[in-house]
Structure 1
Amino acid sequence: MKKNIFLYLFVFTGLIALYLFVSSGTLADTMNDKINKLEAEKVILQDSVQQSQLNLLDMQYFSLENNDDALAYYEHLNIKDPARYIADKLLETNEQKGNNPLIPYEGMENDFKLNKIKILNHKWIVVDFSDGKYWGELLIKYELKDDMGVDFTMMDHLLYTRSN
């Protein structure tokens, strides 16, 4: 009887050991597959981040903030952020009652006002304007004077037509 108990215990222990051996091998294979999958995703994400950085650099190319040659024109004025100063001066033209004086169109739904401003360099600005329903763009030439005044001259314009 004692002999049979030891035999059963030995067989049972062997079965448990065999089960643990097989399941640990399967677990290791599953973990290796997950690691390989995550490494592939990591490479894809790194490529995506690199592409996003290149796109950001492309978008910043025509920008006063990133153009040292254009910023050199304003060194003598000691302005901390010339782009912000110029944009603020341009937005002040929106404060007048009625349409913005730089926009050569009459608002159809409301008054045309400037919305988005992109300062390209030390001479040109691209501006988006809208009356809430209709919109367009302006190319503006500007000059920042030594007395901190800014002169704006609309060079070209377009109004998008609504197609329904």
Structure 2
Amino acid sequence: MKKSIFMYLFFFAVLYIIFQYANEKAIFGKQDSRIVKLSQKLTKAKDSLSALAKQTEEASYFSLQTNDNAMRYIERLGMEAEEVQQLISDKIYDQNGTPGGNPIIPLKGVNGDFKINKIKFLNHRWIQADFSDGKNWGEMIIEYFFDENNKLELIPLSSLLYSGS
């Protein structure tokens, strides 16, 4: 009787080991396929990030913050680029509240006063600006500089107007 109990225990142990082996093999197979899928997603995400980084680098090519020559020019004036950008941005946006529209914009609005919506610093001398009166919109190039007394001068160089539909 003792022999049969050991024999049944042995068979039960063998069946349990076979079951565990099959179960673990299935789990490892699923984990491997999941790892492969996640690796593919990671590769795709890295490629997307690289593409976005390249686009960002190209988009910021014309920028005060990424132009070493422009930064040196601003520093020679005794200012910081971020300080200059904030000062000029504040002055441009503050003029949006002027009755009759922003005086920097050389056009008169048909549907109200033209106001500058967005600006982009191209370098230490030029700004690209987007403006609108609600229906019509346009873009312009503004030249800025500081005179010998470090007084800010803003000069509209060129503008174009798109018509709303």
Same fold (TM over 0.5): yes
Once the two structures are TM-superposed, the CA of residue 50 in structure 1 deviates from its matched residue by 1.5
Identity of aligned residues (%): 38
Structure 2 residues not aligned, in runs of 5+:
none
Amino acid in the other structure paired with 1:160: Y
- For residues 104 and 85 of structure 1, the distance between their equivalents in structure 2, rounded to whole angstroms, comes to 22
Deviations 1:89-143 (A, max 9, x none): 2223223122111223322333111110111112211100112232111111222
Verify: 1:160 aligned to 2:136, yes or no: no
> Match of 1:9?
9
- SS of the residue 1:122 aligns to: coil
> Match of 1:94?
96
When the two chains are superposed, the root-mean-square deviation of aligned CA atoms in Å is 1.9
- SS of the residue 1:99 aligns to: coil
Amino acid in the other structure paired with 2:47: D
> Match of 1:84?
86
Match of 1:107 among 106, 109, 130: 109
Match of 1:126 among 114, 125, 128: 128
Provide the TM-score with structure 1 as the length reference: 0.87
Provide the TM-score with structure 2 as the length reference: 0.87
Structure 1 residues not aligned, in runs of 5+:
none
Once the two structures are TM-superposed, the CA of residue 5 in structure 1 deviates from its matched residue by 4.0
> Match of 1:140?
142
- For residues 85 and 161 of structure 1, the distance between their equivalents in structure 2, rounded to whole angstroms, comes to 31
- For residues 31 and 143 of structure 1, the distance between their equivalents in structure 2, rounded to whole angstroms, comes to 62
- SS of the residue 1:64 aligns to: coil
